[in-house]
Structure 1
Amino acid sequence: MPTCIKSSERTMTPDLIRRQPALILLFSLVLALFVGLATPAFSSDASAQDGNLVLNDQSVEIDFPQQITFNLEIDAPEPVQRLELRYQPVFADAASAERPDFEQGATSISTSYELDLRTRYLPPGIDVDYRWIITLESGEILETEQERFFFIDNRYDWQVNTDDLVSIYYYEGGSGFGDLAMDVTNRTIERFGSDFDVQIDEPINIVLYGSVNDFQDALPYNSPEWIGGFADPGQNLIVAGISPGEGAATEMGRMLTHEVVHLLVAQATWNPFNSAPRWLDEGLAINYQEVREERFRRVLDLAVDEGRLIPLPALRSSFPSDPDLAIQSYAQSESVVEFLIEDYGHEAIASILDAYSEGVPHSEAVVVGMGMTLEEIDDEWTAWLGYDGDTAGVDHTEAPSPGTMEQTEDMLANFGLMPILVIGGAIVVIMGLVRMVRAVNVRDLDEDVSPDVEYYGQDMYEEDELFEGDVLEDDALEDDDDRPRGTPPTLT
């Protein structure tokens, strides 16, 4: 049976106004201007609370993973000509609009809209806002109060462990499993925050399925079978499949720590123009895993010996599609971050993160943060490795290079820093706000994965090579809190 979900009391800050005081001010001014311009066109608007509209039912039913049903039952003061449902995940950039079937011209309306999750996928563990807009025969527009519900996979009896801004959702393993996940998450947040002076200011939801099979059954249709978990920085969300038992601590120490850092980097560097480079994001995530990937060291050493390192600027946007080069890209990213911390300290990384949070373009962020170009960092890092240079005939054409997207991001960042264009920017924002309200998001099912989501592959690494049959006890992570940064927990 579908589960009826009531409005949630949890509050979150919209994605557009997270951490930039200047941007918040500009957003507020532009919003005020937009509202002022829009008021004459909507002067006849009224809400359901004005007494003109009797709201008998406004509810939501979740039937995961099939659909969400939005229900509406009203008595209107005059015939209704149009109904529109608008819904939006709290951190999404745009609202979606749907028009359900109903008896046009009637005053008593009872209808519903079934959102097909097979074509409009929503990940479990997010808050969703929704409201109804009713257009009467006279042209008057009425709106119901905006409601919020928590969207979760209702096939399971979820437990929740909440500590400050972190919420862990799980249904297997009992309270000990939830406590372990919370300990690993908080430890990662504290270490990363202490090293780089980063504080989380947005709620983080972590949804842990009791097995990889259960998790994969919650993914969009046609998702690759190798996915074992993902982080969605845009939603401050991690969803994964981790089975309780003696291997749970190992998997959390490897995967959960990695994905938590992705969310922390996203929050620390958020700006409306670009995001942290891939080599920095992945390098930090790997370095802050409590269970490290020993295979990466072997891959890096082999690439150094054979003279085929990928230039660092080529790892700014995306990693190569070739599996071997992709693994090498992770290995190089881990090593570059290790080098920067060892030779320049955590302050250097913190300065780069700060530069990105100010919207500095890619071409300048490292220079602003460290006083060096990315090419100079690449030269120092390869010297630190003892790299003798590329072997004759090595072709880097398979490695990605910064393309038009990065150039566009740099242009936008420079644009945003030029006060003379504030008025033009305000016009663009107004147009964007209108588009946000009216946009309809349709997911392309031909895409296997979303470019905005960090996916974790369950079979990405060969565990027999990494651990050679050793098992990490659940309390091993607790005993090794004082070990040096990056040192794996004790294997027993």
Structure 2
Amino acid sequence: MRKGLVVGVATLALLLGLVPSALAASPATFGVPTATSTYGEGIDFGQAVVVDVPVGRTELLLTVADAIGPEVVEVSDRPRPGATTLSYTLDTSGPAHLIPNTRITAQWRLFSADDPTKFALGPALTVVYEDDRFAWQTVSGELARVHWYKGDAAFGAKALRLAEDAIRETADLLGVIETESVDFFVYAHPDDFYGALGPGAHENVAGTAYASIRTLLGLIPPGEIDDPLVAVRIPHEFVHLVFDTASSNPYHRPPRWLNEGLAVYQSEGYAGPDRGAVKNAARSGSLIPLDGLTGQFPNGRDFFLAYSESVAAVDFIVRTYGPNALVTLIRSYADGRTDDEAFTDALGLDMTTFGSAWFADVGATEPTKDGPRPAPRGPVPAAWEGTGGLISTPAPGAANPGPSARPSSDASTANDASPAREGPDWLIPLALLIGVAIVVGVILGRRRRASAGGPA
């Protein structure tokens, strides 16, 4: 017992010796960190510090939203001993666009130039990247906060009511409890809205949910708050956030069609326009297989068809397997299951088979799959027919049963088919030994001649 304890302590000490330490001879003393963001440009991070020893490496650790760990950014500053201020700007312009309301936690780290195992870690600072283009009004409820810059208090109150009703209804359906409030930013003009979404956004999107930062961005002009479409659009996006709560896992996301299908099903049901779109696509042969809707939806006319198909597939689940099966399917993803594992456990068939069953339910014919195919079988010699093209290879010294790979009842035929033997098995080793002896003899003879002809 004592021996095992000693070995364990020694091993722990060895491992600790390999890890950079901040306990002794810290190379710096930190002041109060700062962070200032300007929307569309960047976030400026600063850190007052008194450096005690030469610094060999400066790092800024940035943890975005709910990431499992920080991104390590090496900063070019190598401050000399004394008081100074470290600085770094995180670019958020153009392709580096950052969604508003994203939380970033920053922490500076300095390594000693003399001993890289010694470092100093500064205090953590969390900053929220705000869309500062507008003067936002805010109203809060138990489950959501609504932010808007155009419209009166009644506008914000109605948006909040629609949001919280959608959260409660979907949470009750999926059996989850929402404990973290959701921020809903309402934009009044398309240019403002797409400026928040950033480059590459779909041009026909009116709302987007970002589950990792518990944020929803929506486009609702003030005069349209009473439009029936708004009563659909707001709940639709909030369903996505509850869906994430029920299915989130560190491995992969559920199929996109399942997420969007539930959002449409909850906010408006499987209505006439969607039914018509699916029926027409099934009749014309243009229905998209569900395995083509697991990720980003297509652009163009198929964009809306993708939503219609998604809610049709969810409706099929509810009609065929029951609402509890739908809930089980969605929640099983939280256990890290693959698509096939989740569908098999909840519905009794894998996702591909489910897609085929849904195609049959809507009266569609599955399209021929294009792509790589096995190479066609080449010509087979007549003697190989019936063997599947496989010929057995005899062991050394064993008789070859011939191309048919079947033993023959005629001993003479078997002998004819056997490979010619080249002699006894000992001939090859003997030849090798003779060759080695000749080489050794030649080398020794040369050495003797060299010794005889040398100086006396």
Of 218-227 and 151-160, the range deviating more from structure 2: 218-227
Q: TM-score, normalised by structure 1?
A: 0.64
CA distance in structure 2 between the aligned counterparts of 1:112 and 1:348, rounded to whole angstroms: 53
Name the counterpart of 2:140. Answer: 162
Shift of 1:286: 1.1
Name the counterpart of 2:427. Answer: none
Shift of 1:275: 1.9
Of 272-281 and 310-319, the range deviating more from structure 2: 310-319
CA distance in structure 1 between the aligned counterparts of 2:140 and 2:23, rounded to whole angstroms: 38
Name the counterpart of 2:376. Answer: none
Shift of 1:370: 2.1
Name the counterpart of 2:386. Answer: none
Name the counterpart of 2:325. Answer: 348
CA distance in structure 2 between the aligned counterparts of 1:376 and 1:174, rounded to whole angstroms: 51
Report if the CA contact (8 A) 2:103-2:128 is conserved. yes
Report if the CA contact (8 A) 1:266-1:276 is conserved. no
- SS state at 1:366 partner: helix
Name the counterpart of 2:80. Answer: 105
Name the counterpart of 1:74. Answer: 49
- SS state at 1:214 partner: helix
Residue 120 (1) aligns with residue 96 (2): yes
The 3 A distance-change label for structure 1 pair 349 and 291 is closer
Shift of 1:284: 0.6
Aligned with residue 244 of structure 1, among 222, 239, 246: 222
CA distance in structure 1 between the aligned counterparts of 2:90 and 2:352, rounded to whole angstroms: 49
The 3 A distance-change label for structure 1 pair 104 and 75 is closer
The 3 A distance-change label for structure 1 pair 76 and 91 is same
The 3 A distance-change label for structure 1 pair 315 and 65 is closer
Name the counterpart of 1:133. Answer: 109
- SS state at 1:302 partner: helix
Shift of 1:204: 2.7
- SS state at 2:288 partner: coil
Residue-by-residue CA offset, 1:441-460 (whole Å, 9 max, x unaligned): xxxxxxxxxxxxxxxxxxxx
- SS state at 1:142 partner: strand
- Opposite residue 208 of structure 1, the aligned amino acid is V
- Opposite residue 175 of structure 1, the aligned amino acid is A
Residue-by-residue CA offset, 1:423-446 (whole Å, 9 max, x unaligned): xxxxxxxxxxxxxxxxxxxxxxxx
Name the counterpart of 1:5. Answer: none
Name the counterpart of 2:348. Answer: 371
Shift of 1:263: 1.9
1:276-315 to structure 2, matched below 5 A, reads 276-290=254-268, 295-315=273-293
Shift of 1:36: 8.9
Residue 334 (1) aligns with residue 311 (2): yes
Name the counterpart of 1:323. Answer: 300
Shift of 1:234: 3.1
1:7-26 to structure 2, matched below 5 A, reads none
Name the counterpart of 1:465. Answer: none
CA distance in structure 1 between the aligned counterparts of 2:294 and 2:200, rounded to whole angstroms: 29
Aligned with residue 58 of structure 1, among 29, 33, 45: 33
Shift of 1:141: 0.8
Shift of 1:350: 0.8
Please list every run of 5 or more consecutive structure 2 residues that lacks an aligned counterpart in the other structure. Answer: 1-11, 373-456
Name the counterpart of 2:65. Answer: 90
Report if the CA contact (8 A) 1:193-1:199 is conserved. yes
CA distance in structure 2 between the aligned counterparts of 1:316 and 1:219, rounded to whole angstroms: 22
Name the counterpart of 2:390. Answer: none
The 3 A distance-change label for structure 1 pair 71 and 311 is closer
- Opposite residue 72 of structure 1, the aligned amino acid is Q
Name the counterpart of 2:396. Answer: none
1:176-215 to structure 2, matched below 5 A, reads 176-215=154-193
- SS state at 1:279 partner: helix
Shift of 1:144: 1.0
- Opposite residue 123 of structure 1, the aligned amino acid is I
Report if the CA contact (8 A) 2:136-2:147 is conserved. yes
Shift of 1:358: 1.7
Please list every run of 5 or more consecutive structure 1 residues that lacks an aligned counterpart in the other structure. Answer: 1-34, 402-492
The 3 A distance-change label for structure 1 pair 314 and 174 is same
CA distance in structure 2 between the aligned counterparts of 1:39 and 1:180, rounded to whole angstroms: 57
- SS state at 1:109 partner: strand
- SS state at 1:161 partner: strand
Shift of 1:369: 0.6
Q: TM-score, normalised by structure 2?
A: 0.69
CA distance in structure 2 between the aligned counterparts of 1:142 and 1:226, rounded to whole angstroms: 49
Residue-by-residue CA offset, 1:264-300 (whole Å, 9 max, x unaligned): 2222112222221222112111112249875423211
Shift of 1:181: 2.0
Name the counterpart of 2:432. Answer: none
Shift of 1:206: 2.2
CA distance in structure 2 between the aligned counterparts of 1:376 and 1:121, rounded to whole angstroms: 40
CA distance in structure 2 between the aligned counterparts of 1:128 and 1:36, rounded to whole angstroms: 35
Report if the CA contact (8 A) 1:238-1:259 is conserved. yes
Aligned with residue 256 of structure 1, among 221, 227, 234: 234
CA distance in structure 1 between the aligned counterparts of 2:180 and 2:15, rounded to whole angstroms: 31
- SS state at 2:103 partner: strand
Shift of 1:110: 1.8
Shift of 1:41: 3.7
Higher RCO (CA-CA < 8 Å; seq separation 6+): 1
RMSD, aligned CA: 3.3
Instruction: Point out the structure with max Rg over C-alpha.
Output: 2
Residue-by-residue CA offset, 1:103-155 (whole Å, 9 max, x unaligned): 63232112321111125322111221111112234433111111212221123
Aligned with residue 253 of structure 2, among 265, 275, 279: 275
Report if the CA contact (8 A) 2:58-2:108 is conserved. yes
CA distance in structure 2 between the aligned counterparts of 1:37 and 1:244, rounded to whole angstroms: 65
Residue-by-residue CA offset, 1:225-273 (whole Å, 9 max, x unaligned): 4444322233332223322223465453232222222222222112222
Identical aligned residues as a percent:
23
Report if the CA contact (8 A) 2:103-2:129 is conserved. yes
Shift of 1:383: 5.3
Report if the CA contact (8 A) 2:59-2:73 is conserved. yes
The 3 A distance-change label for structure 1 pair 83 and 331 is same
- SS state at 2:160 partner: helix
Report if the CA contact (8 A) 1:125-1:206 is conserved. no
Of 288-297 and 274-283, the range deviating more from structure 2: 288-297
1:308-457 to structure 2, matched below 5 A, reads 308-319=286-297, 321=298, 323-374=300-351, 377-378=354-355, 381-382=358-359, 384-385=361-362, 387=363, 389-390=364-365, 395=367, 397=369
- Opposite residue 302 of structure 2, the aligned amino acid is L
CA distance in structure 2 between the aligned counterparts of 1:187 and 1:301, rounded to whole angstroms: 32
